[in-house]
Structure 1
Amino acid sequence: MLEALERPIVFVDLETTGGSALTDRITEIGIVEVSRYGVDTWTSLVDPERDIPLFVQELTGISNEMVRGQPVFAALAPALAARLQGRLFVAHNARFDYGFLQQSFERAGLIFEADMLCTVQLSRKLFPDAGKHGLSAIVERYALEPLGRHRALADADLVWQFWQIIHAHHSTQTIRQAVQSLTRRPGEPVATPRRPRAKTGKAE
């Protein structure tokens, strides 16, 4: 499967202080990069320069004390932009993660644009008979093995696991056609919706 990749893919997940890309900030970034050379992972806590609401701390396990002294987003931005450049950006409820990163890069004085694919939409297209397409439902349905939940790298890894499940159930041609039809490219409008209040992260 790795040898057949047309270009590298980054499976991305964020934890944030809340659901609005305009007013909230990133607290953790997790990336699983997959290319023909193999699989590489990267993660970092991020100082949001504001307090994390208590319910978010309880959900993610990321406390104010954990992020104090960690790099602010602007300090990570140049290296992070290079890490994402030219890759297909894949995430569960991808508009959220993409929108947060766009806003964060803009505040750091950088422009972020990438081809974007949402695995919620991909799941709906390739598994139309499945009742639910949130990450928790996918974990249960396919007995995925989480490194944890509501932490950025752990959830990014779950999306990578789901990508492998997709390839076990569908032909490369079917997947390629679905990916091409669902991928949003720079210049196309991308909304930055709020996530449900019960979660700052991935669609359940």
Structure 2
Amino acid sequence: MAVPDAQALPTGPFRFIALDVETSCGDSGSICQIGLACVSNDNRIETWASYVDPEQRFAAFNVQLHGIGPDTVAGAPTFPEIWEFLRPFLSMHHLVQHSNFDRKAIAAACKVYCLPPPDLSWSDSVRIARQAWPEFKGHGGHGLGHLKTALGLEFTHHDAGEDARAAAQVVLKAENRLELCFEQIAETSRKAQMSFPL
């Protein structure tokens, strides 16, 4: 599997991009899949995903969780290859993660490969969900598993592309619930390199 062609990426502009990763073991830098959900100005969601060769071991727990193993990533790009491809695209947008794991995983993978620390604009859809549905605290919580049921989301959990799409859907539903736009609920003090009007 070669590094994806840049033409394969969704074409923007996008209001924000949700990002999710899966890892091969307990090392947060062992990214074996990365998924994006790109939200356009009319709230359409375009997803993109790629397997990544983590060049690390696959722990049985992780394989059971997401179904990705050594055979799945055979021939897939390594993280430096996929990051060189994605970084310019991601740096132009606000990113959404569901919890802080994905941001930490990207940073850890960059550190493993001695790449410059990523300078990206991140927001957390867990925090956004807490704003929109405070009543879920102590009653299922704000993880994707509970939000899937509570908000009627349809996605396959622990697939990076599907989880990214779910995080994007959480933000869109939160906008409707709070009657506020993403910029108002993003809880980030930093802006992407290029922002686009709603």
Q: Which runs of structure 1 show a deviation greater than 4 angstroms over 4 or more consecutive aligned residues?
A: none
Alpha-carbon separation, structure 1, partners of 2:157 and 2:143:
13
Residue-by-residue CA offset, 1:28-78 (whole Å, 9 max, x unaligned): 000011233754321100001122111111110111111121111111111
Correspondence 1:101 to 2:109 = no
Deviates more, 1:126-135 or 1:136-145: 126-135
Does the 8 Å contact 2:128/2:171 carry over to 1? no
- Structure 1 residues 79 and 42: alpha-carbon distance in aligned structure 2, compared to 1, 3 A threshold: same
1:128-147 mapped onto 2 (5 Å cutoff): 128-130=134-136, 131=139, 132-146=141-155
**Cα-Cα RMSD:** 2.2
Alpha-carbon separation, structure 2, partners of 1:63 and 1:7:
32
Which position in structure 1 is the counterpart of 2:6? Answer: none
Which position in structure 2 is the counterpart of 1:36? Answer: 41
- Structure 1 residues 20 and 51: alpha-carbon distance in aligned structure 2, compared to 1, 3 A threshold: closer
- Structure 1 residues 110 and 42: alpha-carbon distance in aligned structure 2, compared to 1, 3 A threshold: farther
Does the 8 Å contact 1:117/1:184 carry over to 2? no
Q: CA deviation at 1:91?
A: 0.9
Does the 8 Å contact 2:123/2:188 carry over to 1? yes
Alpha-carbon separation, structure 2, partners of 1:41 and 1:141:
23
Aligned residue identity for 1:155 = D
Which position in structure 1 is the counterpart of 2:17? Answer: 10
1:168-183 mapped onto 2 (5 Å cutoff): 168-172=176-180, 176-179=183-186, 182-183=187-188
TM-score, with normalisation over the residues of structure 2? 0.79
Classify the secondary structure of the residue corresponding to 1:65.
coil
Which position in structure 1 is the counterpart of 2:51? Answer: 45
Which position in structure 1 is the counterpart of 2:170? Answer: 162
Does the 8 Å contact 1:47/1:68 carry over to 2? yes
Picking from 52, 62, 69, the partner of 2:68 is 62
Classify the secondary structure of the residue corresponding to 2:71.
helix
Unpaired stretches in structure 2, ≥5 consecutive residues: 1-12, 192-198
Unpaired stretches in structure 1, ≥5 consecutive residues: 1-5, 187-204
Question: Equivalent pairs: percent with the same residue?
Answer: 26
TM-score, with normalisation over the residues of structure 1? 0.77
Q: CA deviation at 1:108?
A: 5.2
Classify the secondary structure of the residue corresponding to 1:18.
coil
Which position in structure 2 is the counterpart of 1:87? Answer: 93
Q: CA deviation at 1:19?
A: 4.0
Q: CA deviation at 1:124?
A: 1.2
Q: CA deviation at 1:7?
A: 6.2
- Structure 1 residues 73 and 185: alpha-carbon distance in aligned structure 2, compared to 1, 3 A threshold: same
Q: CA deviation at 1:170?
A: 2.0
Q: CA deviation at 1:100?
A: 1.2
Picking from 150, 155, 159, the partner of 2:158 is 150
Residue-by-residue CA offset, 1:115-141 (whole Å, 9 max, x unaligned): 211111111122111131111110010
